[in-house]
Structure 1
């Protein structure tokens, strides 16, 4: 006998089928939306397009990683095509970056971005960018014009990045000012002296002048400098000037701190351990007999990544390397004869002036449009030194503090310099291009196919007489810049005798240099430079590209080497601290994702770096060198009355317990399970949606990473999260003996669109220490897609 379903069973069956159909309909709708977004947002990469603005037939061949190889009959057409593919692949990034420069984020992000817009408008980044174009050479203007036309040609294709749909706006046409504007924000991102002056003001108020060297330790005597004494001009040393200050009320200091908070929200601020490495090895040291040049700039790791790999080949413009969407040049890379790399010099090019009550100020009113809210009228005041940054358009708080900065001054021809590097054929061309360089001052390393190597640190660096720029000074005229260091006197060397130049944001010159590039506390700690030099000098001859890769990817911590004795002397307060300390005793200092010791060490270091917070506030982080000096000298910063810690021995034990308690809460009570990669992961987050829970999964990218604080492969974990938010944003190694055997890699991928095929395909290789071929030979490109651009008719033709 067959049982028939009961009425209830039939009802449930019908309900279940209904739910199934509903799920299928929702899934079908979602797939339809994804298909529609892909069709309307992903660029055309094959076939032929007729475009206004291009003058000859251009081919854009994207290789298997999405890197475009552009072949054009004129240099202008090559740069036109660069603008075209930049907008195709990174439209949102480009629009966001120009909105940052313009201070127009609130228009699309709402009231939450008002503080950032106030900061950006007050500093006047867009006004400074607008003054650039008239200063550029005719050749640069022509290339900027061509690039701008290429961007607009891509925009007219009607493909819309998902971010524009989500935020509900249409981007405006690109302008020539937009094509140079991002360089101003790069100058700020690689600056930061104002942050130092604000911190130093707080230090002096709380700890006196001696506190400056306690909170930020001076560069150690005997630590590596980029140039040696025999590479300096034959002049006597200039005595180091003493800090000089006019006091600021606490309320004014707080106003300045609040103003700088907007830069932190934009991820444009100095981060401990943030920096870059580059070096060049002469042919006498290499297996090929020709130079090898390496570079890896350490910047914020974002989604999409900052850099865009590209290969441009016109009649005379033949450059391949890393470009920045929005800028019409290869910023770091090589051409058919010359290679170059950059790291940040970080000279002191910003000063805060406390303007007297009688100082003449000018005013302008700017309107900030706010999505979903009323417009804001912002009054910006300026003195002869620069914008008043102590009020940021709000009610004045105490003295009026102005900012003087080289990047805000007229006559910025930095774009001429970068475009000139793309064309350079020899050292003479290279240095002639760098004479046009203004900001941000960079350590440029150089190599050419003839076997020559060199180094130059160009840019405007102010000359101060009798004061060192580390603290705010009076604007009464007694502390003015006395011009800039002459170009010929800036640090440089050509074909150094030892065949090696290493830069890692360390001190540039030893005592004896006739100018002050910065104050003694302004340099990065020497650990990366020391480790790179140590590894390269261990192999004085026969160096290969593979050897250089190993150096670039090195994760051995010299910070641990220096701190080991002090840390292992700690007296554990409990069993968990004791077990953690035992893990460290046998550690070799290599910070790998699968190891436990790096987790404990970095967590402990974070706790140690906070030792000045009871004196200076929760936003104060010592660098590792300063923390070590306190431990070695039983310094006053170890004392913490609230926690009843009277000396560094007590602080050391307490900080170890703080660290292990934190790790136990995050990872469980068994230290053997505290592997580094569980916490230490690269966080390439989206600028707008990175913290929006509903969208972050689509736009953000995570992966466990190796390295730590001040390792060569730098990967400092962020305090509180252990995320890696800064690091080698791009790596390149150029073999001047065989240019097409050169290699490069970005931190994420070419596509900005989260639905693109190349949105993150470089990240896995980047984490694993692998590279892409930096080659202009089609045989190295793998499977390709070719798009041909041809001239279109003007309206009415």
Structure 2
């Protein structure tokens, strides 16, 4: 017995030793790719030495003898900290994810190959101005210098993920940066999805007048009635099933309602307590670990520039110089149109045009797939754009037999000079100079907010398609691609893009709200991103005669939901404090407790309160009850609450209260009935998920910021190291926007928000501040992987200074790049 025990003990000790050795080996290999920020490196491609000074938040301050050398340094710094992220962005744009990730990403590669974004980026390289071509080449050389160092010094393949998804990393090229900008344009637009959804709903509804309830326009002057989609395409498959939605963070297409968003506001000196201009900006994108944003300061020949960059692109996209500040919000421009193309019944390789049948442009494309046979696609283009299959964007649900769908989109340009405009903007000194430069920006369309020392402005930038006034659907639904009146007729003049300069009130801002109300075809969009947050923003801006940096920060972090304050009195009007007292533990008692809590609530979506969770679950259940019998499975497309829809129903706007009656039931349900039933639904779900003690609920338990690694988020054990989860305040309709997923067992997770926040004060520029949602490093073993995340969650910021002395005084390292001797 003793011998057996001794051998078992030896085996156990041996096993523990092996595990320790294995863990140690894994840690050693993974840690080899941790950057050394205190070193001197000889590199190829520099004209003179470059210094990369990293302040105490690991923000690189890059100094060089020329602009080209500074961009070289930025490429090197990006590759030090975010090489895996850059690799994934490039492969996504190229349609080559499946080479390393296998069958999981085949559908994404198919879409990107059909859109041909990378080939268009290569073609547009020659259209960039000389300064931009130099910047792109220098940046690529900096990335490649880091790759050479990794290979030379055996630095763990550059990132831990490279051990799991082993594939050679091709040298970076200037076109790669252009392709990433086009990829961002895809992620920031959702117009094609809205067109298809509107057509599908139009096919499903018995009463066409109800279309404007469930898909309402932003408040303002109405638009002319649209034709019924069934009259345009009588053979469209009315009941085609929805393609299952994916919450995969690798998807290049954002879920409905989670494409572009953002906040920005500016104050003129007359409305600033300090006497200088103010600008606040917080772009909203999918949350991830690491964040898409990377903070950097570039000391260019025209002066220092500091702000948020995207790894892979040599541009400060939102930030400031000593003379100019700029911020971005999604404009929600209608920049995409779907065309239904009629095939020649005698030759399916031809499609109908206004001049007759024409042959598709086509060519093969091979997708290589890890651990699976390759796939050959036939890429086809019409005069309107690339042909997309029915599986993309649910196009099959609105495409009749004998037809295919094609896409027109402003980003599908082979002479896209957007990056040239963005690089030139960093050198602009005045608002007017910046507006003139931005004319070269094509896509993604944005509202560009600007401040210099004296002036504030906002200009919509990006190509606005020119449409015929007699367009069949006004671009709101797919249209017949063989009719001349439906086709794009070039671009609208840049001068006609909405522009606001030095308004009398001294305040400008945008929360993705409707900015102009122009009749078609001079409109900007029918699908605006916000009708709610702007109301709260107006209140906060007008509640003060003058503003400060801190009041702008306060507005960025505001958690009051105007939506809750509006909807609760409507849906609960006949429920508040009614009925007899109910026994403890009964559904009626739970309902009374919930209503009592909500009656005393001020609409603050605070993470520590129970009321936000009760409210959010109630309106979500209510919307589902209102639309489920009308739309059937298509109701699954409306997973996030539409406040305008519920308001229309409960105010009975143009007869919208008809949604409250369940068509398939004998009784006639009232809106009060639906509100009560939905509240009971919500309380049952809350009880099963979070417990029945309503007073003890926390919104933050449901509204966790889901900052997950895009590839390793579901890998056992590793997910605890690479994912960042935090309890957060805010919600879908608060200025502190934390948009919820609306799907799955955790529908209120915070998945889309301000990955970057910045506030710039031009009375004292070095008092400006900024923050990102994770940290500078993409290496999960780095102390800088999540060091900014807690500051971001608490609403704190770090200094945004161009003072070189401050950067050096608190630096965590200085990297010196020197030209390699020949």
How far the C-alpha of 1:19 sits from its partner, in A, is 2.7
Aligned equivalent of 2:53: 61
CA contact (8 A) 1:463 1:516 kept: no
Indicate the larger mover: 333-342 or 775-784: 775-784
Which residue in 1 is equivalent to 2:512? 505
What's the CA shift string for 1:561-613, capped at 9, x where partnerless?
11121232364963322222221111011111111101111112222333324
Which blocks of at least 5 consecutive residues in structure 2 are unaligned? Answer: 345-350, 352-357, 580-586
The match for 1:618 is 636
1:690 Cα deviation from its structure 2 partner: 1.7
CA distance, structure 2, for counterparts of residue 126 and residue 496 of structure 1:
41
Secondary structure of 1:658's counterpart equals helix
C-alpha distance 265-327 of structure 1, shift in aligned 2 (>3 A): closer
Partner of 2:559: 555
Does the 8 Å contact 2:102/2:371 carry over to 1? yes
Q: Secondary structure of the residue that 2:386 maps to in structure 1?
A: coil
The range that moved more, 665-674 or 716-725, is: 716-725
771, 774, 794: which one pairs with 1:748? 774
CA contact (8 A) 2:770 2:797 kept: yes
SS at match of 1:295: strand
Match of 1:388 in 2: 387
Give the match's secondary structure for 1:662. Answer: helix
> In the alignment, what sits opposite 1:789?
817
Corresponding residue number in structure 2 for 1:763: 789
What's 1:379 paired with?
Answer: 378
Matched residues in 2 for 1:613 and 1:691: separation?
A: 32
Partner of 1:229: none
- Once the two structures are TM-superposed, the CA of residue 510 in structure 1 deviates from its matched residue by 3.5
- The structural deviation recorded for 1:420 is 1.1
In structure 2, the partner of 1:635 is 657
CA contact (8 A) 1:122 1:388 kept: yes
Q: 1:127 to 1:639 in 2, by over 3 A?
A: farther
- Of 739, 742, 751, 2:765 maps to 739
For residue 373 of structure 2, give the secondary structure of its aligned residue in structure 1. Answer: coil
CA deviation profile, 1:85-120 (whole Å, cap 9, x unmatched): 111100010010111111111111111211111111
Which region of structure 1 is more displaced relative to structure 2, 607-616 or 319-328?
607-616
Of the three residues 38, 43, 63, the one matched with 2:35 is 43
Contact persistence 1:116–1:263 (CA under 8 A): no
* Matches of 2:789 and 2:665, distance apart in 1: 43
2:589 aligns with 575
Structure 1 residue 740: Cα displacement: 0.9
After TM superposition, the structure 1 = structure 2 runs for residues 300-319 of structure 1, keeping only pairs within 5 Å, are 300-316=286-302, 318-319=304-305
* Structure 2 residue matching 1:280: 3-state secondary structure: strand
> In the aligned structure 2, how far is the partner of 1:688 from the partner of 1:250?
38
Following the alignment from structure 2 to structure 1, what is the Cα–Cα distance between the partners of residues 240 and 662?
Answer: 23
Equivalence for 2:177: 179
Partner of 1:27: 20
Task: Name 1:3's counterpart in structure 2.
Answer: none
Q: C-alpha distance in 2, partners of 1:403/1:91?
A: 33
Contact 1:340 1:444 in 2 (8 A): yes
- Give distance in 2, aligned partners of 1:37 and 1:566: 56
Query: CA, structure 1 residues 661+780, in 2 after alignment: closer, same or farther (shift >3 Å)?
Result: farther
User: Of 56, 65, 87, which residue of structure 2 is paired with 1:95?
Assistant: 87
For the residues of structure 1 that align with 2:248 and 2:34, how far apart are their CA atoms?
Answer: 32
In the alignment, the residues of structure 2 paired with residue 673 and residue 653 of structure 1 have an alpha-carbon distance, to the nearest angstrom, of: 22
Q: Report matched runs for 1:326-345 at 5 Å.
A: 326-345=312-331
The change in CA–CA distance for 1:498 and 1:512 in structure 2 (over 3 A counts) is: farther
Q: 1:132 to 1:639 in 2, by over 3 A?
A: farther
Deviations 1:325-360 (A, max 9, x none): 010111110112100001011111111111123422
- TM-aligned CA distance change 1:673 to 1:780, over 3 Å: farther
Question: For residue 469 of structure 1, what is the aligned residue in structure 2?
Answer: 475
For residues 741 and 72 of structure 1, what CA distance do their matches in structure 2 show? 25
Change (3 A) 1:392 1:162: same
TM-score normalised by structure 1 residue count? 0.91
Aligned counterpart for 1:686 among listed residues 709, 713, 724? 709
Verify the 8 A CA contact 2:243 2:391 in the aligned structure 1. no
1:190 corresponding residue in structure 2: 188
How far did residue 433 of structure 1 move? 1.2
CA distance in 2: counterparts of 1:490 and 1:447, whole angstroms: 18
Matched length: 765
Partner of 1:585: 599
- Is 1:273–1:709's contact at 8 Å kept on the other side of the alignment? no
Matches of 2:247 and 2:694, distance apart in 1 = 38
After TM superposition, list the pairs within 5 Å mapping 1:117-516 onto structure 2.
Answer: 117-158=109-150, 159=155, 160=157, 161-207=159-205, 208-221=207-220, 240-244=223-227, 245=229, 246-247=232-233, 249-251=235-237, 254=240, 258=243, 266=251, 268-272=253-257, 275-316=261-302, 318-358=304-344, 359=351, 360=358, 361-391=360-390, 398=401, 399-449=403-453, 451-464=454-467, 465-467=469-471, 468-476=474-482, 477-510=484-517, 515-516=522-523
Which digits, 9 at most, give the CA deviation of each residue in 1:648-683, with x for residues without a partner? 222212211121111111111111221111221000
Q: Does the 8 Å CA contact 2:657/2:671 hold for their aligned counterparts?
A: yes
Cα distance change, pair 168–248 in 1 and its aligned pair in 2 (3 A): farther
